[in-house]
Amino acid sequence: MKKIKKAGIVICWLIVWQLIAILIHNKILLAGPIEAAAALAGMAGTADFQSSVVTSVLHIVAGIALGALIGIVLGGISLKFELIGDFVSPIVTVLKSVPVASFVVLILIWIGSDNLSTVIVTLVVFPIIYLATTSGFTAADKKLLEMAHVYRMPVINKIRFIYIPALIPSYIGAFSVAVGMGFKSGAAAEVIGQPLMTMGNGLYRSKINLDTAEVFAWTFTIVLASWIVERIFYLLISLIRKILIPGASSVANDAKEVQR
């Protein structure tokens, strides 16, 4: 029933969008969903479109994975060694605050445009996962940690049965934000840096040609790719949880709880 309700709401907004496009009656200012769908269907069969999507997704996913890895490792180390945490904290604050465009310009000067989106996404994702890691470790049950200390529980079991259950809820929300921000920042970096055969390059070319329908088509492609990657990350987290914590609730259920 909820799916039908959501589908109905989406259809209503599409109708509103189409009516506004008809009233404006200028495809340069605003193309309707029908024109956007036709543009997407026309692009989807071309080799350039497919190559652009694959290239961008691979670079952005690599950036998400690298940023997550650095965030998890440094987050754990920072809690273990307070001095390292003090040194990392200003970097996290800077990365959270500085506009993506500033980083894009610097990275273009330093390494060029080929791996631009990967580096930018890494810089954007790292503070999100770092803060999720530190907050997750901090949220671990203190009484369970005391019990583990008293009974001299092995470190691997402490991580498996105390820390990971505390980290999972933090990571569910964090990865949802990280994937979305990763694709937004990655596409923005590609629009500015213009690496060839990328979604950002296609978006920019559509803008230059004043083809609003193609702009919407590329935008939908980026959003869809982001949604699919987010689902994949949820599946990976769920798989890790099932392996390490048999009988635990699914990540999908936890995600719904986080959204509430």
| pLDDT tens per residue, range 67-111 | 999 999 998 898 888 888 889 999 999 988 888 888 888 888 888
Residue, of 65 and 2, whose pLDDT is higher? 65
pLDDT greater than 60 at residue 126: yes
Counted domains in the chain: 1
Residue 154's φ and ψ, nearest 5 degrees, are -60, 150
pLDDT of 160 above 80: no
3: exposed, middle or buried (Cβ count in 10 Å: 0-12, 13-18, 19+): exposed
What pLDDT score was predicted for residue 259?
45
In the predicted model, what is the mean pLDDT of residues 117-122?
A: 94
**Model confidence band, residue 122 (pLDDT cutoffs 50, 70, 90):** very high
**10 lies in a domain?**
no
Q: CA angle 94-100-101, nearest 5°?
A: 125
pTM for the full predicted model: 0.85
CB 183 within 8 A of CB 117: no
pLDDT classification of 257: cutoffs 50, 70, 90? very low
Residue 159 lies in a domain: yes
Residue 77 near residue 93 (C-beta atoms within 8 A): no
Q: How confident is the model at residue 159 (pLDDT cuts 50, 70, 90)?
A: confident
Select from 216, 229, 11, 249 the least CA-distant residue to 121. Answer: 229
Two tokens, residue 106: 């610097």
The CATH code of the domain that includes 230 is 1.10.3720.10
Residue 183 lies in a domain: yes
Q: Is the per-residue pLDDT at 258 higher than 50?
A: no
Please give the Cα distance from 108 to 93 (Å, whole number): 22
Tell me whether residue 5 is in a domain: no
Asked if the structure places residue 68 within a domain, the reply is yes
- 187 within domain boundaries: yes
DSSP state of 30: -
Residue 63 has pLDDT above 70, yes or no: yes
Q: What is the mean pLDDT of residues 225-240?
A: 88
Q: Tell me if 9 is assigned to some domain.
A: no
Domain extent for 226: 46-259
| pLDDT tens figures, 181-216 | 999 999 999 999 888 899 999 999 999 998 999 999
For residue 6, being part of any structural domain is answered with no
